[in-house]
Each structure stands twice: as structure tokens, then as C-alpha cells.
């Protein structure tokens, strides 16, 4: 078992809050992905929106993963990190012209297209450059991901993708466009999915769609099932590596890939969540009328997931092994939602203690803001604090 280990003595002279990335945990996660897809026609793209820390990106690039981008900035970050354009896919409901042009200029692998007007704009911009854009249709499979409603994306009511009812119309339109080439279909049903059955439902839906495309004489080289695999936020020490085995097995067993087809994945959270912690210091322990508050120097400007999605992050006091007490762990920001966790049992805590907010590697540092004119958190890796 590999645990995130903390060089607490090295933390003592670093100003808090900051992000700490355990690159050994990340490398173990990447090695497990590699082991699971070995010998399969599977390609994994890292979804950059989860974390673009340069050291994290470099480690992921070194493991040979491609990139899944949702903005021009991310396309550029992937290319800057040395990920080859042939492994870059670009999704998003609202791609601006400059972002599409960036993708075209760099000959990225594929645009995941979410609407008819977008398809027409890509065709027009590609024509102006004398190029052909490779596209996959992002189809909304109407599969429920059983996750928080802010992070489900594959239902008809969501803004993402092309609905099944429009599919025939869209494929006819694609056939008529000169400067786009349809190379596949794309899906992404949501995030933090820990029960495998939505992925199985997705496979069933894709099999039906494959039959449909074949009946219409459309050969697709690529199937992209998106990301969404969840991690264990309750027990990061016991489950530092996500359930890749069960996850990839679902697709091996339930998706009927045709000969010559490649199956693409876009994993974000599962790759990076467990390697990251937000490290903070206790400013005050305040006695309320009925409870005690631990007031940290980190707030939702540093880690917004609890405030935004009611997400849970395990909190560990790295400076104390005294007996546990119940606390509300809160940040310093002037908003009532700046609470990390309530009624939480943690080793007896005092001013100055160092606190780790666990599983913060995904959608943590990248979502930081300067609200209240706070400084953006810095980041350090296990390699540099060895
Ligand atoms: C966010 C996103 C992903 C990654 O999702 P995770 O839950 O972090 O794995 C993959 N594909 C698309 C299109 C996305 O928007």
C-alpha cells in the first residue's frame, strides 16, 4: 500500500496555504493505468482541467498519456508540456474562433463537436486554412451517472453534446461539409462516478449507436468514452489508487469494439485527486456556544469543492496525535459557505498546527481565486521537498 507521506519538517518554513503533490502517488496511479490498458487498443487522455501544475503535467506526459482539453489555454498548456498534437483532443460547448484556429494550426487529433453551428464554424475556419479538421460528435447518451447534479453531464436536460434525436440530421450535415472529417463519436456522462453501472449503461448505448452508424454506412475509427471515474475521498490512505481494474474491465467486457477501432478515455480526477493535498495552518481555535471552530488560513479561494459541490475532503492534523475532538473546520473568507467540514473528529488542535486537506489534487489548485484579494496558493512536489 502506498500512502501520501508528508515531509512535515520541510513544511515548517513554507508559508501556508500551499498545495503539496506526492509525485510517487501520481506515478503509481499512472503505472496502474498503463498495466490495465496494456495490449488493448485503448488510449488514455489526461483531462487537463483537473490540474495543470507543470510538474504534475510533466509526470503525466512522461507516462505517455495524451491530453483532453476544454479551452485554447489548455490546448496550449498540453502542447507546451510536450504532449504531441496527435494525442490532443479538444471538447467544449463554446469553442471560440481563436481556440478552434489554435487547434487547426497545430493539427490536433480531434475536435469533439457539441452542436451543428459549431460544426459549421469549424468547417469554415478549416477551409480558410486549406485544412481538414478531424471531428468526433459528442453525443448525449441520456445515461444517468448517479452523481451530484452539478457534475452530471450526460442527460438530455444538460447543455452538453448532441441529443440522440438530432443525430441523423447531424450526420447528414457532416457528410455535406468539405473541410471536416468525421472520425468518431464521443461521450462524457459525468464525474466522480464510483458505481460502475453507469459506465456499463454507456457501453450498451454505444453498442446500439455503432449498429446504427454501420446501418448507415458510416465507419467510425474512434470511440471516446470520456472520463468520470471517481476516487475515494473518505479513505485516501487506504484507497490511494482508483478502481482502474474494475473500470477498464467494464469496457473490455461490455463494449463491442469493431476491428481497427480505438477506444479513447479522458480521465481527470482519478489520475490526480489522491496525489494532492492542500496544506494549511491553524490560525485560531475558537470556542462557540455549542461547538469548537478550527479556523484555517486556507479557505474556499484555495479549495472550492466543499462550497461549490458540497464535497467532502478528509482533514488531517499533521502536528497532533492527541485524542480526537469534534470541530467545524472553516476558512477565513467572509462568506458563510467557507466551511470545509462540520462536526468533524480530529486530533486535538491548537494554533499553528499543520493541517492537510486530502484528495485535493483534482479541481483544487486550478480553481483557486483571489477573492478577498487573497494570494493564489503556491505548489510544491515531493520531488523538490525530499
Ligand atoms: C471534465 C471532463 C473530463 C474529465 O472528467 P473527470 O471526472 O475528471 O475524469 C473528461 N472529458 C470531458 C469532455 C470533460 O469535460
Q: How many structural domains comprise the chain?
A: 2
**Mean pLDDT over residues 217-237, rounded?**
96
Residue 327: which CATH number?
Answer: 2.40.37.10
3-state secondary structure of 254: helix
Mutate to test the pocket of ligand 1, among 50, 75, 151 (most ligand atoms within 8 A of CB): 50
pLDDT for 238-285, tens place per residue?
999 999 999 999 999 999 999 999 999 999 999 999 999 999 999 999
Q: Which domain holds residue 355?
A: 274-381
The verdict on 220 and 331 lying in the same domain is no
The verdict on 90 and 217 lying in the same domain is yes
**Domain stop point among 220, 240, 272:** 272
**Mean pLDDT over residues 355-368, rounded?**
98
CA–centroid distance, residue 91 to ligand 1 (Å): 10
pTM tops 0.85, yes or no: yes
Give the number of residues written for the chain: 386
The verdict on 169 and 288 lying in the same domain is no
pLDDT for 15-24, tens place per residue?
999 999 999 9
Amino acid 57: pLDDT = 98
**Domain stop point among 237, 272, 307:** 272
Residue 357 lies in a domain: yes
Tell me, using a 6 A CB cutoff, whether residue 60 lines ligand 1. no
Amino acid 288: pLDDT = 86
The verdict on 50 and 182 lying in the same domain is yes
pLDDT for 70-86, tens place per residue?
999 999 999 999 999 99
Res 29 pLDDT > 60: yes
Amino acid 77: pLDDT = 98
**Distance from C-alpha of 236 to C-alpha of 2, rounded to nearest angstrom:** 10
Residue 14 lies in a domain: no
The verdict on 304 and 252 lying in the same domain is no
**Distance from C-alpha of 258 to C-alpha of 272, rounded to nearest angstrom:** 31
Alpha helices by DSSP H, 283-346: 305-309
Torsion of CA 195, 198, 199, 201, to 10 degrees: 140
The verdict on 221 and 115 lying in the same domain is yes
Which long-range contacts does 291-295 make (Cβ < 8 Å, 24+ apart)?
291/326, 291/327, 291/328, 291/343, 292/325, 292/326, 292/327, 292/328, 293/327, 293/328, 293/329, 293/330, 294/327, 294/328, 294/329, 294/330, 294/346, 294/349, 294/355, 295/330, 295/331, 295/332
Residue 9 lies in a domain: no
Residue-averaged pLDDT of the chain:
94
The verdict on 188 and 301 lying in the same domain is no
**Mean pLDDT over residues 330-342, rounded?**
95
Amino acid 3: pLDDT = 46
The verdict on 239 and 376 lying in the same domain is no
- Shortest-distance atom of ligand 1 to CA 227: 9
Residue 191 lies in a domain: yes
Res 2 pLDDT > 50: no
- Shortest-distance atom of ligand 1 to CA 363: 8
Mutate to test the pocket of ligand 1, among 88, 136, 190, 226 (most ligand atoms within 8 A of CB): 226
Q: How many CA atoms lie within 13 A of 236 on its CB side?
A: 25
Residue 8 lies in a domain: no
**Domain stop point among 248, 272, 296:** 272
pLDDT above 90: percentage of residues in the chain: 88
The verdict on 246 and 347 lying in the same domain is no
**Distance from C-alpha of 172 to C-alpha of 170, rounded to nearest angstrom:** 5
pLDDT for 115-159, tens place per residue?
999 999 999 999 999 999 999 999 998 887 765 555 556 556 667
Amino acid 149: pLDDT = 57
Amino acid at each position: 500500500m502506498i500512502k501520501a507521506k508528508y515531509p512535515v519538517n520541510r513544511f515548517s518554513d513554507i508559508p501556508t496555504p500551499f498545495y503539496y503533490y506526492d509525485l510517487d502517488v501520481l506515478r503509481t496511479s499512472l503505472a496502474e493505468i498503463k498495466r490495465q490498458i496494456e495490449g488493448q487498443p485503448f488510449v488514455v487522455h489526461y483531462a487537463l482541467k483537473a490540474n495543470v501544475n507543470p510538474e504534475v503535467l510533466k509526470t503525466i506526459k512522461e507516462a505517455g498519456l495524451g491530453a483532453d482539453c476544454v479551452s485554447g489555454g489548455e490546448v496550449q498548456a498540453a502542447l507546451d508540456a510536450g504532449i504531441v498534437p496527435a494525442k490532443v483532443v479538444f471538447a467544449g460547448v463554446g469553442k471560440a474562433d481563436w481556440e478552434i484556429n489554435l487547434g487547426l494550426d497545430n493539427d490536433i487529433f480531434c475536435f469533439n463537436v457539441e452542436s451543428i453551428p459549431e460544426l459549421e464554424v469549424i468547417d469554415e475556419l478549416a477551409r480558410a486554412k486549406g485544412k481538414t479538421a478531424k471531428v468526433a460528435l459528442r453525443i448525449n447518451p441520456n445515461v444517468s451517472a448517479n452523481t451530484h447534479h452539478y457534475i452530471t453531464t450526460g442527460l438530455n436536460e444538460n447543455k452538453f453534446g448532441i441529443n440522440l434525436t438530432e443525430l441523423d440530421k447531424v450526420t447528414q450535415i457532416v457528410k455535406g461539409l468539405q473541410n471536416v472529417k468525421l472520425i468518431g463519436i464521443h461521450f462524457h456522462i459525468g464525474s466522480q462516478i464510483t458505481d460502475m453501472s453507469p459506465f456499463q449503461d454507456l457501453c450498451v448505448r454505444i453498442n446500439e449507436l455503432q449498429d446504427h452508424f454501420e446501418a448507415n454506412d458510416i465507419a467510425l475509427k474512434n470511440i471516446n468514452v470520456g472520463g468520470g471515474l471517481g476516487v475515494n475521498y473518505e479513505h485516501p490512505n487506504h484507497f490511494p489508487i482508483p478502481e482502474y481494474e474494475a473500470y477498464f474491465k467494464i469496457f473490455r467486457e461490455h463494449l463491442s469494439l469493431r476491428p481497427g477501432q480505438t477506444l479513447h478515455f479522458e480521465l481527470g480526477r482519478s489520475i490526480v485527486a489522491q496525489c494532492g493535498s492542500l496544506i494549511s495552518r491553524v490560525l485560531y481555535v475558537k470556542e462557540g456556544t455549542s461547538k469548537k471552530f478550527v479556523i484555517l488560513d486556507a479557505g474556499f479561494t484555495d479549495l472550492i469543492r466543499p462550497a461549490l459541490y458540497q464535497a467532502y475532503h478528509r482533514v488531517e492534523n499533521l502536528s497532533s496525535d492527541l485524542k480526537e475532538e469534534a470541530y467545524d473546520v472553516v476558512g477565513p473568507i467572509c462568506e458563510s459557505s467557507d466551511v470545509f467540514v462540520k462536526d468533524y473528529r480530529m486530533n486535538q488542535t491548537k494554533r499553528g498546527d499543520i493541517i492537510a486537506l486530502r484528495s485535493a489534487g483534482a479541481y483544487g489548485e486550478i480553481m483557486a481565486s483571489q477573492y478577498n484579494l487573497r494570494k493564489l496558493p503556491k505548489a510544491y512536489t515531493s520531488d523538490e521537498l525530499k
